[in-house]
Structure 1
Amino acid sequence: MAFELQRPHVAVACLLVMHYLAGVLSIPDPRKREALIQQEASMQTGGQVVLSDAEQRLDSLLFKMKQREVLGAEFPPALHFFKARDLIRTSPIFSLLQKMPKGGALHVHDFSMTDPEWLVKNATYRPHCYMCFTDKHSIRFIFSPQWPEPLPRCSDWNLLENLRAKTINTTELDDSILRNLTIFTDQDPETAYPSQDVVWDVFEQSFYALWGLVTYAPVFRDYYYQGLTEFYMDNVMYLELRALLPEIYELDGSTHDAAWTLKTYQDVTRQFTDDHPDFYGARIIFTIHRGVNISRMNGVVETAMKLQKDFPDIMAGFDLVGREDLGRPLWYFREALSLPTDRGVTLPFFFHAGETDLEGTEVDQNLLDALLFNTSRIGHGFALPRHPVAKEISRNRGVAVEVCPISNQVMMLVKDLRNHPAAALMSENHPVVISSDDPGMFGASGLSYDFYEAFVGFGGLRSHLGSLKQLAINSIRYSSLTPNQQEKALDLWQRKWDKFVSENSF
């Protein structure tokens, strides 16, 4: 009882002490607080961009849109993209981003750049198209004037023209083909893809499935033109494409080499820019799968050096592709990758590095090795914030990180895009560009979906129109274009940007 009676006196004593301390310490100066807030805001991507009056009006509209989005019942960046896509499509921010001139897409892969529905509706309806079913529940294609030779571990070939003639519901058949050419699913994605191993296996099977379609010469040309069209319609004016430069085959079975393939990319690009004068162009980064042996890598680097010399306008450089966690690290190929320097030959590198969550492994050192080999950019760089030395070198050298938000989420490196490491990179204006990696595989055509995830998910309410403007400028400044070409591209982009702002700042 005595204890209970003393408690009010203790409370009064505490209040007196707090009152005394408030007088001694005082509340921090609100002007200093505001200065710190402004200092942080100025450090983020686009924090130093000065907006015109029209841009400020558009920025105010964007901020109101984002406030509504953040307070909504479901926040798309917190959801798996396959669940969020329909929500994103209804977003006024997304609609605005579709209209926005986004500059260049600097990290896109050759046979996943185009909506696979185009392949189903176009390529598979062409004459002489055969399909078989594999024992891994996938499909394969080939174009042939006569019945093709059987493939190992595949059913008998079916001429699609005959198969469709016997099928009552061709839409159902087309939908089943489409499901094999993409990893997008209407099912619960966490159930469909319970691990990285599963999603990567399905991802690779999808590439095998479409291979026989896109490596057929007539389809190859049209597929690339269609891919450029999709990016152009999404207000992307420049593209750097990572391409395997595989053998391309004709109907009679004859094949073309890597030089022919690269020249075809060059010819189709020129045709597209002739047809669309406000599209600046495209360049190719020659790639090889990181699972090859040393002898094969030596030969490929030799080929890359020759192609760089013979096709300087279209050839941007060289890279390794494939799942980083299971592939050989860059250091394994150090002798082959040193050939250009040893011979005094210029072959720019654009290495995938840090597309992993395996800390401390040999693969996790790819970031440092990429920088040791003077990579021009870092593909993905998901692990970069865990490597302070690599991060500092990247910043000091101006080696931009090609961030692909949707790819990193779908391939199970991050669940909630608000937690993506690039959010921290952008908060300190680290060199960053946004790209879409494999948009055809993910049901994310073009670049606007990835811009949405970066703008709304990474930045929250802090990112603004200046952030978007800086990201678009970055995509040209950190491209493989020469300084003179960059200035021309920026002039073209600026005209598009001014038109976009004037039409939407009301």
Structure 2
Amino acid sequence: MWLVILYLLFGDAQSGLSTVTGRIENVINERTTLIENEIKMMFGSDINLSDSEEKVNEIIMNLKHEELDIGFEEPQLFNVSKHFFEYKDEIKKSKLFQLIKQMPKGAILHAHDTGILSPDYVLQLTYWENLYVCFEGDDLRFLFSKSIPTDTCDSQWQLLRDTRFSSGDVEIFDAKLRKYFTLVIDKPNEVYTDINLVWNAFQNYFIRTTSLICYKPVWEQYFYDVLKALREENVMYIEIRSTLPELYDLDGNVFDSVVTAQSYKNVLDRFLVDYPDFYGAKLIYAPLRMVDASTVKNYIEIAKEIDYTIPGFLAGFDLVGQEDLGAPTKEFLEELVEGRKYLQYFFHAGETNWNGMSTDENLFDAIVLGTKRIGHAFALSKHPILIDEIKKRDIAIEVNVISNNVLKLVDDVRNHPLASFLAQNLPVVLSSDDPGIWEADILSHDFYVTFVGVASRHADLRLLKKLALNSLYYSTVKNKDKLVHEFEIRWTRFIDSVIKNSW
């Protein structure tokens, strides 16, 4: 009798244990399946890696996981969760950053011309001959002239060369002057306390440097050096946004927007002769949006004239400036509907934290107007209908992670909506907006911050390669097969070099 009882007790226990174990296994299997399905859906999951790429992927992921694991265990050490100014130089020591810097990155499709090069570069421009400076309170103005300018100055126009060398200490003078060419400061969150304050400082950079960079010889040298810097950072093509300001020279000539565009094309042609391995550039005419409808109509006429005068060089049209304070796109619907007969659109839209406001609704206008790409689209994650439209219409999202951090849209990039875009495999292209103004590398910082700070821990070399390829696929280059083929050659060289150098 006792044997029967013991058998029943232990038999039931064994059976119960087996049942519990089975349930746990089912949960684990379901969990594993969900994770695997999400990874298969992720941006870059359609990329198949070669054996050599797999070896490099292992190297990259070891470096990435090492940085992430340290940050997970000691969050205060995770640099990219902070303001960009606090870690921009520190991450240059990272082996992963150095590897990404060497990586072919395809194209830049969202960058504003005079915000690309560093404050050190702009400072060197102040050593050019015939440059005058006017100090006005806490600010200053520049002007190239053969003699003392007659323009109004609250103090007096001074030849900058003389002012510099009579200052008593050129190094200190230049250090003070350099501060006018950067947003970078100590304790940025205490100084730039809201989006309007940082945007005011941002826009002042462009106002301050206009007469410096719009001197025609400087303008052309600046663009040449932009192209050179792109090439050095393994970028092979750019679609550069410009307001196309009037240029001037020492003889009193002032040149309109069409001539400004032509100067860009002339510089490009010269650069391609000097560096035939660079693929090229196109122009997106992107004037300011804080205007009335008649001005936008005039903008479109200028764009049409550029397209007629310089065939094949104009990629399209955009409107720029702080969206929250600028006129909403809907105020220009009549002009823009007419303009799309002649132009492709690449609108900034949704560069905001607001939901349901006019800035946010610029996303709707951009899509219905047939935009080919959307600049920033920061607010897109709040609009499931628009996400579906983005997919259906294959509209690329031009994401600028560091810009969004510096300009007060997101404090911790781990919370950037790009994380959601990547998880849903939306058509993303990565760019850098105005990297010179916040002292970032032209594109490497944005790739690194995206890879380490925004993307999933599981995101690997496939994501990096897909980001580079997307920048080519969503460009306006007609012969994309040739462009992609050239990229693949460079990518293979990169992969081989990483293996050879035993990273």
Shorter-chain TM-score bucket reads: over 0.9
Match of 2:378, SS state, is coil
1:195, CA displacement in angstroms? 1.3
Deviations 1:369-419 (A, max 9, x none): 000000010000000010111111111111010000000000010011111
Measured at CA, do residues 79 and 30 of structure 1 come closer, stay the same or move farther in structure 2, by a change above 3 Å?
same
SS of 2:283's equivalent?
strand
1:474 paired to 2:470: yes
TM-superposed deviation, 1:192: 2.1
Once the two structures are superposed, the pairs formed by residues 87-236 of structure 1 within 5 Å of their partners are 87-121=90-124, 123-135=125-137, 137-151=138-152, 154-185=154-185, 187-236=186-235
Deviation at 1:26, TM superposition (A): 5.0
> Counterparts in 2 of 1:487-506, with a 5 A limit?
487-505=481-499, 506=502
Q: Which runs of 4+ in 1 moved over 6 A?
A: 18-21
Query: Aligned to 1:282, what secondary structure does the other structure show?
Result: strand
Q: Secondary structure at the match of 2:319?
A: strand
Structure 1 residue 376 corresponds to structure 2 residue 369: no
Instruction: Name the CA distance, whole Å, in 2 between partners of 1:75 and 1:278.
Output: 38
Q: Give secondary structure in 2 for the equivalent of 1:437.
A: coil
**SS of match in other structure, 2:403:** helix
Q: Secondary structure at the match of 1:237?
A: strand
8 Å CA contact 1:230–1:445 kept in 2: the answer is: no
Deviations 1:167-198 (CA, angstroms, capped at 9, x unpaired): 1211111121111111112x111112111111
Question: Please, which runs of 5 or more residues in structure 2 have no aligned partner?
Answer: 1-12
Separation of aligned partners in 2, 1:475 and 1:413: 23
Normalized against structure 2, the TM-score is what? 0.93
| Cα distance in structure 2, aligned partners of 1:182 and 1:59 | 36
How far did 1:19 drift? 6.5
Structure 1 Cα separation of the partners of residues 191 and 316 of structure 2:
36
Which residue matches 2:50?
Answer: 52
Give the CA deviation at 1:33: 3.5
Q: Secondary structure at 1:338's aligned position in 2?
A: helix
Deviation at 1:346, TM superposition (A): 2.6
Equivalent in 344, 351, 354 of residue 355 of structure 1:
351
Q: Deviations over 1:190-234 (max 9, x none)?
A: 112111111111111111111111100110000111111111111
Partner of residue 36 from structure 2, selected from 13, 35, 38? 38
1:463 corresponds to: 459
1:61 paired with 2:62, answer no
Q: Which residue of 1 aligns with 2:78?
A: 75
Q: Is the 8 A contact 1:150 1:156 kept in 2?
A: no
**Are the equivalent residues in 1 in contact too, given 2:472–2:484 (CA < 8 A)?**
yes
The separation in 2 between residues aligned to 1:346 and 1:39, in whole angstroms, is 43
Instruction: Return the letter of the residue paired with 2:108.
Output: A
Equivalent position of 2:331 in the other structure: 332
Cα distance in 1 between the residues matched to 2:474 and 2:280 = 15
SS at match of 1:296: helix
| Displacement after TM superposition at 1:30 (Å) | 4.2
Whether 1:432 and 2:428 are equivalent positions in the alignment is: yes
Q: Which residue of 1 aligns with 2:278?
A: 279
1:25: Cα distance to partner?
A: 4.6
CA shift digits 1:27-57 (9 cap, x unpaired): 4164444333222111111112110111001
CA displacement at 1:277 relative to structure 2: 1.7
CA distance in 2, matches of 1:223, 1:173: 23
The answer for the alignment partner of 1:8 in structure 2 is none
Output the CA distance in 2 between the equivalents of 1:117 and 1:26.
60
Q: Tell me by how many angstroms 1:445 deviates.
A: 2.6
Q: Unpaired runs of 5+ in structure 1? A: 1-14
Task: Tell me how far 1:267 sits from its aligned partner.
Answer: 1.1
- RMSD over aligned Cα atoms: 1.9
Q: Deviations over 1:325-384 (max 9, x none)?
A: 00011100111111224xxx3300000001000111122100010000000100000000
In structure 2, what residue type is equivalent to 1:100?
Answer: M
> Is the 1:435–1:450 contact (alpha carbons within 8 Å) kept by the matching residues of 2?
yes
Does the aligned pair in 2 maintain the 1:138–1:205 contact within 8 Å? no
Q: Which amino acid aligns with 1:203?
A: F
Tell me the residue number matched to 2:9.
none
1:466, CA displacement in angstroms? 0.6
- How many positions carry a matched residue from both structures? 483
Alpha-carbon deviation of 1:156? Answer: 1.4
CA contact (8 A) 2:230 2:442 kept: yes
AA matched with 2:262: K
In structure 2, the partner of 1:406 is 402
Aligned to 2:289: 290
* Equivalent-residue separation in structure 1 for 2:96 and 2:165 (angstroms): 44
Alignment partner of 2:335: what SS? Answer: helix
Q: Which moved more, 1:32-41 or 1:198-207?
A: 32-41
